[in-house]
Amino acid sequence: MHFKKKIYSLWIDIKEALAGTDKDFTSINLSKAIFLLSVPMVLEMFMESSFALADIFFVSKLGADAIATVGITESLMTILYAIASGLSISTTAIVSRRIGEKRPDKAAFSSFQAIIAGLIVSFFIAIPGLFFSRNILEIMGASKEMIQNGYEYPKIIISSNVVIMMLFIINAIFRSSGDAAVSMRVLLVANIFNIILDPCLIFGLGPFPELGIKGAAVATTIGRGLAVAYQFYLLFFGKKRIKLEIKYLKISLILIKKLMKLSLGGIGQNIAATLSWVGMVRLISEFGSHTVAGYTIGIRIIIFTLLPSWGLANAAGTLVGQNLGAGKPMRAEKSVFVASLLNMIVLGVFAVLFISNPSVYISFFTSDPNIISAGIICLRYISCGYLFYAFGMVMVQAFNGAGDTLTPTWINIVCFWLIEIPLAYILSMIMGLNDKGVYIAIVIAESLLAIVALLIFRKGKWKKSVV
């Protein structure tokens, strides 16, 4: 009977998490607060990672060059994701703090300034994508055939980056206010349209034109665009914690400047991390298109498991911001360690699966034995560091949620630029470990990041951050 009650209680909590809740996360049971926030955030991150997986799944039918083109583009898109994530970090820090202070009007006003900041930034990012997509692929080591046949993929994806920017920022608004379930539903809409349109536009099913790799870019952009339209509908007409009304639609250059300044740390830390991934791809490209294709598939699978873990990390960041706003720093600290433990359990399970039998997951995307072999190496080696990744990502989001975005930036610069990239070059090119050397360097750098972040976190200076 007691077991049945627990199962029933869990089911009620899951339903509440998915439907959305109006509970005050600064006062309810901490474990329940993490659960209610993290369930929709984990599902949101699953759906965010599904974009790239869907593209790879369908594009893989077009051959190794097409897969490699998507992989190179996605590695470059991590720079955009870094910028969008930086803006969403500053949005989360400010909005969650205002919600914790019980000032929803200030939270709504700040949200509008974040949207304006995102629109400005996305305009400047679109220009190189629109006019220099061929040059970008060439710089990244793509072959002439890849450039000729696939340049339209990065052109469309990068030039239409405004939909990605809005998805990140507006979902951060919903998450940091406590409406995490809304962010999940938004990405569900985007994924449904993307999965439907991907095969139709790539292969020309039914009345749709056969666009090849270009079709994947068009499908993804349409799916994200419809999701953004849904976001704006909910912001203006939905009954959520943040509601944009006419009185809030005023531009405050002071607040935009504050958001931009705060986001610099978030952008800096993400660019430091993601540019290192670009460097990894550049090194891996030296070992041929099959190795790049194997890496592309392997890393998509890894992202599919790491991004949901960011859901737990984001939950911790939101709780840190709200609890600091409510004057409860000890509760904020405790939420970080509880979320870290849960994250390590989740990624620990995935690590066992990927290390023990990686071929099952790689072969789902391709039957090419050379690509499968390369993908197995990528998946098995990188997943060895999963426990450290789990702990490190929660630590980083804890700093961000408090508004201390500079600490993770310096940690990332040291771990990724001073250690990971030089070590990857030495192991892969000088010591002759090839792609294995790159993956070993990634594991070492990420593990060091988690240890350094913990040591700094324990000092507690983040509790005094002013937002």
Give the separation between CA 375 and CA 439, rounded to whole angstroms: 11
Out of 19-28, 161-170, 393-402, least confident range: 19-28
Per-residue DSSP letters for 348-387? Answer: HHHHHHHHH-THHHHTTT---HHHHHHHHHHHHHHGGGHH
Per the structure, the complete domain to which residue 418 belongs is given by 34-459
Other C-beta atoms closer than 10 Å to the C-beta of 460 total: 10
Task: Over range 63-78, report the average pLDDT.
Answer: 77
352 domain-assigned? yes
- End-to-end CA gap in the chain: 48
pLDDT number for residue 261: 87
- Give residue for tokens 């304006």: 116
Domain count across the chain: 1
Q: pLDDT band at residue 353, thresholds of 50, 70 and 90?
A: very high
Whether 300 is in a domain gets the answer: yes
- Determine, yes or no, domain membership for 16: no
Question: Mean pLDDT across the stretch 276-292?
Answer: 83
Taking a C-beta distance cutoff of 8 angstroms, is the pair 293, 68 a contact? yes
DSSP 117-170: HHHHHHHHHHHHHHH-HHHHHHHTT--HHHHHHHTHHHHHHHHTTHHHHHHHHH
Greatest mean pLDDT among 66-80, 196-210, 306-320, 335-349 lies in 335-349
Q: Which of these, 62, 70, 69, 67, lies nearest to 362 by C-alpha position?
A: 67
191 lies in a domain? yes
Q: Is 436 exposed, middle or buried (0-12, 13-18, 19+ CB in 10 A)?
A: middle
How many whole angstroms separate alpha carbon 371 and alpha carbon 365?
10
Query: What is the SS3 assignment for 241?
Result: coil
User: What are the pLDDT digits (tens) for 410-427?
Assistant: 999 999 999 999 999 999
**What pLDDT does residue 448 have?**
95
Most confident of 11-15, 178-182, 346-350: 346-350
The predicted structure's pLDDT at residue 188:
86
Contacts of 273 (CB under 8 A, 6+ apart): 82, 412, 416
368 and 339 in contact (C-beta within 8 Å)?
Answer: no
Contacts 24+ apart (CB under 8 A), 14-18: 14/39, 17/180, 17/181, 18/43, 18/181, 18/184
Over residues 300-305, mean pLDDT: 82
**More confident position, 415 or 311:** 415
Greatest mean pLDDT among 76-90, 264-278, 425-439: 425-439
For residues 4-31, give the mean pLDDT. 79
* pLDDT of 335: 92
Helix (H, G, I), strand (E, B) or coil at 430: helix
Instruction: Select the more confidently predicted residue: 132 or 340.
Output: 340
Enter the DSSP assignment of 205: -
From 21-35, 165-179, 315-329, 398-412, the region with the lowest mean pLDDT: 21-35
Domain annotation covers residue 127? yes
Residue 336 has a CB neighbour count (10 Å cut-off) of 24
Residues 6 or more apart whose Cβ sits within 8 Å of residue 414: 452
Nearest alpha-carbon partner for 44 in 193, 182, 237: 182
Residue 202, H or E segment: helix 180-203
Encode pLDDT of 145-161 as tens digits: 777 777 888 888 888 89
pLDDT tens string 364-399: 888 888 899 999 999 999 999 999 999 999 999 999
For residue 55, is it within any domain?
yes
Q: Give the model's pLDDT for residue 287.
A: 85
Residue 217 CA to residue 292 CA, distance in Å, equals: 20
Model confidence at 312, in pLDDT bands (50, 70, 90)? confident
Q: What integer pLDDT is reported at residue 22 of this predicted model? A: 77
Note the pLDDT of residue 118.
Answer: 92
Tokens of 113: 């300034």
Average pLDDT over residues 438-464: 93
DSSP code, position 60: G
Tell me, what's the pLDDT at 122?
Answer: 92
Residue 370 lies in a domain: yes
Would you state the pLDDT for residue 385?
92
Mean pLDDT score of the chain: 86
| 3-state SS assignment for residue 313 | helix
Over residues 123-138, mean pLDDT: 84
| Within-domain flag for 267 | yes
